[in-house]
Each structure stands twice: as C-alpha cells, then as structure tokens.
Amino acid sequence: MTEQHWGPTISGDIVVIGGGSAGIGLVASLLKRDSQLNITLIEPSEYHCYQPAWTLVGGGAYDVKKTRRPLADVLPNGVTWVQAAVTELLPDEQTLVLDSGQRVSWNNLIVCPGLRLAWEKVEGLQDTLGQHGVTSNYSYEHAAYTWQLVQQLKGGKAIFTQPAMPIKCAGAPQKAMYLSCDHWLKQGTLNNIDVEFNLAGAALFGVATFVPPLMKYVEKYNARLAFNANLVKVDGPARKAWFEVKDAEGSVSVEEKSFDLLHVVPPQVSPDFIRQSPLADAAGWCEVNPHSLQHLRYPHIFGLGDVCGTTNAKTAAAVRKQIVVVAENLLALRKQAPLPLKYDGYGSCPLTVEKGKVVLAEFGYGGKLLPTFPLDPTQARRSMWFLKATLLPWFYWNGMLKGREWLTRLSKVD
C-alpha cells in the first residue's frame, strides 16, 4: 500500500462544490446579501455553459458559441476559485478531498455539482458519437452536428431516444424531435422520413396536463412513439441501434433498429463522489429536505440543482428558485435562526414544439401547475418562443448569474 502525501488543507468557511447554474447563481445571491462572506468555489471546468440553449442549437435556431463563456468571466468578485475536482466527501470531519490530493475544510458546504452524463452505459455510443449519423443535444460538442444531420436528411429513418428518469430537462429529448420534424415539414421531406421516439418510460411527459397538446404535435409530425424502449447499444458504421423493450407483463426483449439519424439522450447518474458518500440516498443522489434543501443528516450542508434526490424537474428554472431558498436558509442557519423559506418543487420546461412556438410547462411537486403568466399553459405560443430563445438567455447571463432574483416568489415557512 502506497503512502499518500496530502497537501496542506485549504480552510474554507462557505464551500460550494460546482460552478454551474446553481453554484454561480447561489454565490452571486449570497454575496448580494453579504459582500463580506468568505466563499470558496470548487469547479474543475474552465468554461461555464448555458445548456438550455443546446436544444435550439440542434434546431438551427441558436449559435452554439453563444452558450459558453470562460468561468472566470461569470464568477462573482471576491470568490476563491479552486480549479479541481472533488474525489471524496468526509462530512463527519467537515472536509473534502480533491483530485490533487489536497483537502478542503468547511463550516458550511453547498453541494451543487450537477449530474453526470453516463455515455458509457450505452455500448458503442462513445465510439460513434458525432459521426455516422449519431448525435446528441446534451453535448456542447455535438448539438451543432444535430442540426447538420437534420438539414442533410431527405429520407430514411430518424430515431430519437429518452433514457430512464431522472434526467436533466425531461422535455429535451422530445424537443429535439419536434424541431427536427418542423424543419422537415417546411422542407417538404417529412413524408419521406420515418420518425420514431423511443422512451424508456411509459408516458410522453410526466405531467398529464401537457400530454394532449404534445400528442397533437406527435400526430402532426406523424411520429411513432415506442414506450418502454431503452437504448442499450449502438453500432454507428452499421447504422444500427439496440433497445431493451419491456412488454405489458414486464418481460424484456432486445430489438434491433436501423437508422439514418439517431439522436441519443444518455443515461444520467449522480457524480461518483456523491453516490459513494454519506450524503447519498438509496439511489445515490444528495439527500436533502425537499422544501428547505438542507441535508437530512448533516444540517450544516445544503444541496441544490440536479444532484438533489428531490422529485422536481432538473432544470435551470428549478435552480433559479432553489438559489433563493438556500441563500436565505443558509444565512439564517449561520445566525442560529429558523429557516425562513420553502421550495415548492417549481420547475419549467419550455417545450419547443415547432420553430417559433413553445408550450411553457411550469409545475411543482406532485405535478401541480405553477404558471408564471395568466395564460392557458397548454397552448403553443410565439411569445413563449421569444421568452425561450431571447429573453431567458439574456436574463441568465445578466440576471441569474449576477444575483438578480426576478420571478422567484416563494413560500415562507409557516
């Protein structure tokens, strides 16, 4: 057994793991409340991405370069950035270990590293992604390839996939299909293309209210839905994909399907250092109170964003409201005061059903509808496309990441 030589321990007060939407937004909101806070951010990536726009990139409606900025440019002033990855959490010691071997101690820990895209869980996918007609809007490197493939396809078989939940933005797999079909319809080639949406689950969308308006578009585009069909293997050069298909009795068989275009959404899992830590629930996600977002066993730890084992939709819109809850509750905890705010499970999914129209699905825990606007939320609207494609990206960079908490009305604890 080799002896490990640890570097000196970095002493942190408030330590935030993750420089994505949740991490940067939270740090900005905390510093707006108290500019003297001592905050350390741990994030290995050099870049920060606005991932909600990748669906638009894949539909030819957004420039992928506009979705990424250097992390240093979005990091609020006064934060210590440690550019490293966490490998181990030791919450009983209030310490974590970095991939450099260095340790970081904390008084309060905020866990928001996001989730991990498990491309390796689909056999052969990593070897062929980005070529042979295999693409994914879930990747900065490949979203533009989706649009290239969509433009090139004049006939044949187009397969879109959705893995088992939970995944980030549960509507994104079908958004890729709708925007592709809208292009083919306008080009007059849709009749020559066999479109199939393979879902690992048994429902088109998790909130029943939105299924009828979405089904209208499925029918408009003449797309076939294959429920309980989970992608397990891809052979890009042969243009073949294999799905595990579950029948009504629960028996599983493997079906081989040929394709000309395959849009893959990878399985998604909790990061290893969370799954293997005492912070994890039975499924490996960070176990927090669904309303206060405080960890159930370690009160000095909070979680937010995609890493949490809560039942809300994993979206940037959910993070927008979670940031305010965690900022207020953390500062109250540090003053030994009661935690004041409750998160209601709010999430939003702007469903891009065609280029220029969006069904804005907003809902909370239990599928409760939580519309921001006094409009029928099941209607596809041009105004909501403008919101999705123009207003929200601007607000993200200039508002949310700067600690501006617009449209974040929340419940106080009773």
Round to the nearest angstrom and report the end-to-end CA distance of the chain. 54
More confident residue, 182 or 1: 182
Residue pair 105/95 in contact (Cβ under 8 Å)? The answer is yes
How far is residue 152's CA from residue 195's CA, in Å, rounded to a whole number?
15
Catalytic residue among 181, 286, 308, 349, which? 349
Residue for token digits 């709010």? 346
Catalytic residue among 49, 112, 169, 308, which? 169
| Pairing outcome for strands 240-246 and 229-235 | antiparallel
Q: Write the pLDDT tens digit of every residue in 78-137.
A: 999 999 999 999 999 999 999 999 999 999 999 999 999 999 999 999 999 999 999 999
Active site (annotated) includes residue 169: yes
Q: Write the pLDDT tens digit of every residue in 228-240.
A: 999 999 999 999 9
How far is residue 109's CA from residue 172's CA, in Å, rounded to a whole number?
31
Residue pair 84/100 in contact (Cβ under 8 Å)? The answer is yes
Q: Is the pLDDT of residue 3 over 50?
A: no
Residue pair 290/301 in contact (Cβ under 8 Å)? The answer is no
Mean pLDDT of 303-319: 96
Residue 139 has, within 13 A of its CA and on its CB side, a CA count of 20
Edge-first strand order for the sheet with 252-258 is 229-235, 240-246, 252-258
Q: Is the pLDDT of residue 409 over 90?
A: no
Helix or strand holding residue 225 (H, E): strand 224-226
Handedness of CA 171, 172, 175, 176 (dihedral sign): negative
Q: Write the pLDDT tens digit of every residue in 204-225.
A: 999 999 999 999 999 999 999 9
Q: Write the pLDDT tens digit of every residue in 357-369.
A: 999 999 999 999 9
